[in-house]
Structure 1
């Protein structure tokens, strides 16, 4: 196919509100360097990470711009965000087989190779490098995974970030069929993915959410749903949970440690309820708890996810779609947290 010289996309021009997102039709189409592929993007999911990066939430320097990228460094502007990418390879760089042209792919969002070299510290697609909120994007060939599925581009774009994050948390915490798993923020993209993936491992799943979303989570496979503001110890009992999959943190956090069994495992990959929590260190060591901070994907996690998709073991949950030019509206709806599953942007022809 003929590759144009310019494309439509959204540029992040600085840290701030939606006003720093600029929809343009004159962005230069990137060219694949050696070991890279050029992907025509068809759909891209909306994530907390995109918004957190935009508002400098990752900065520990009072919202300063010196450490506000996903990796803790300064963000380079303008930047094309977008970690969840489904598209088709339309061109390849040197050292990549031309046979890959035409492959339908998902991009692994945790980047370990860029510019033909292995990275000392991983990047996040759309943070340290340009992502999928545009018609075209380039990525190291190793991070573009072929996927053979009857699902639509929109459905496939709901998987990469949320489901790989969930699978990584379950992998790090070594969730098995013998475990009773408590999932916070269970109606979001990662939480709803964790329900399905934990059930695929045979675990018993208890999901925390709001009343309006109870039935949807039960339909996903949750064995029990409890309200987000309940006292977890009164409701579940002390020492009753083997694994906590936490995406919320916040004021309720100490209760997670109370309900964990001795030798229990706690995995975290989000803090939408508040990043600062109170830890009684005695609970940590007297109960022999294990804590897992989960960001960088374990090896094989993304390939395992591709296998689950192709084998139909997990179901895409698309709450709503928006055209790319309505990204500000999409992120506003996302932040209201009234949806279950993913919000996905469609990329213009």
Structure 2
């Protein structure tokens, strides 16, 4: 086994703000695994909207105050190493972890329920409330490091954890089956394209909302129908026409989602890139007996289900572009332009 160095290369977030708050360094101390943790050499790490949202304090609901700008609603500790999507290999283990895990290729579950052997009252997000994968090494409790047996590359595997577990969780919470017509907003993004694949794997009829330039890429993923994101959903689909809405956008179009849902329909949301404040006619909610699901914390079975899907080849990685870790600012600049389908991955 290679000797583990005392320092490593990585990117630290120094505080809330612009890209200048990200600092690439080569002298960051390598973490030491506690009794219930594993030390992972990071091979690749995917990028997500949450990386930028955390940096700019988007999660804060108090204007001018970033104290609640995290997934848990607690202040972040800086400097912080971000990065929720991690593919790597276990290189050391704590005293309570089986030594045979050394050498395992793993994916990290980004929704953290246990830290240093202690269960959390409110789950953390890997790379937010604790250091993540934008560095050569990272630590996590052993229960959140899932062994993966796959011929896919490290970059391809790093495209899965956050987006695909988020999508799988939404579909799980909304109880999507083969009998459902499912409408997915933001279908060309990381979570959206994951939801497309996972819904099709369940046998559902999938309708994707995206820009026309991305239609063919989504049809190639198996989408049954594509709708332009500026279209009137009621005109195109009709009222009471879908069983489930998987929403990653919210924004001005949001009332239309409730109009196209059938009575007894299910709405699941895990993003609001189109605008966080929406207009709800509460009568639509109760007269149609709709069910709403806010989806952040993963259901216990979700990540293992995802690993099984990857190993069985039921889902495919969609890599838009890869960048070396030191080019993270350029990567985020291109990422924000949204002219792509799939994930951006940083190679470590």
Flag as ranges the 4+ runs of structure 1 deviating above 4 A: none
1:133 aligns with 2:148: no
- Alignment of 1:274 onto 2:275: yes
Of the structure 1 ranges 172-181 and 60-69, higher mean CA displacement relative to structure 2 is found in: 60-69
Match of 1:318 in 2: 319
8 Å CA contact 1:57–1:63 kept in 2: the answer is no
Match in the other structure for 1:93: 94
Is residue 204 of structure 2 the alignment partner of residue 192 of structure 1? no
Deviations 1:285-323 (A, max 9, x none): 000000000000001100000000000000000000000
Deviation at 1:109, TM superposition (A): 0.1
Alpha-carbon shift at residue 332 of structure 1 (Å): 1.1
For residues 245 and 64 of structure 2, what CA distance do their matches in structure 1 show? 29
Superposition CA RMSD, Å:
0.5
Q: Any stretches of 5+ residues in structure 1 without a counterpart?
A: none
C-alpha distance in 2 between matches for 1:84 and 1:230:
33
Distance (whole Å) between structure 1 residues aligned to residue 131 and residue 191 of structure 2: 22
CA distance in 2, matches of 1:61, 1:329: 29
Aligned counterparts of 2:121 and 2:239: Cα–Cα separation in 1:
42
Q: Deviations over 1:162-191 (max 9, x none)?
A: 000000000000000000000000000000
Matches within 5 A, 1:292-311: 292-311=293-312
Contact 1:56 1:63 in 2 (8 A): no
Q: Deviations over 1:88-114 (max 9, x none)?
A: 000000110110000000000000000
Residue in 2 that maps onto 1:237: 238
CA distance in 2, matches of 1:292, 1:71: 18
Aligned-pair CA distance for 1:69? 1.2
Unaligned runs of 5+ in 2: none
Contact 1:213 1:340 in 2 (8 A): yes
State the 1:262 CA deviation.
Answer: 0.2
- Range moving further from structure 2, 295-304 or 55-64: 55-64
1:55 CA displacement: 0.2
CA distance in 2, matches of 1:75, 1:60: 15
Q: Who is 1:29 aligned against?
A: 30
Structure 2 residue matching 1:336: 3-state secondary structure: coil
After TM superposition, give the deviation of residue 63 of structure 1 in Å.
4.3
Distance in 2 (CA, whole Å) between partners of 1:98 and 1:309 is 25
The CA deviation at 1:119 is 0.7
2-structure distance, mates of 1:15, 1:115: 27
Relative to structure 1, the CA distance from residue 270 to residue 63 in structure 2 (aligned partners, 3 Å threshold; closer, same or farther) is farther
Identify the residue that residue 333 of structure 1 maps to in structure 2.
Answer: 334
The alignment partner of 1:329 has SS state of helix
**Separation in 2, partners of 1:249, 1:230:** 14
Q: Distance in 2 between matches of 1:307 and 1:294?
A: 21
Displacement of 1:115 after TM fit? 1.8
1:162 counterpart residue number:
163
Partner in structure 1 of residue 121 of structure 2: 120
Number of aligned residue pairs: give it.
347
TM-score normalised per structure 2: 0.99
Q: Distance in 1 between matches of 2:82 and 2:283?
A: 41
Equivalent residue, structure 2, for 1:222: 223
The 2-side partners of 1:67 and 1:101 are apart by 37
Tell me the CA shift for residue 65 of structure 1.
Answer: 2.1
| Structure 2 CA distance for aligned equivalents of residues 205 and 69 of structure 1 | 32
| In 2, Cα distance between equivalents of 1:100 and 1:286 | 53
Residue in 1 that maps onto 2:291: 290
1:32-85 per-position Cα deviation (integer Å, ceiling 9, x unaligned): 001100000000000011110000000011142210111111110000000000
Report the TM-score, using the length of structure 1 for normalisation: 0.99
Deviation, 1:334, is: 1.1
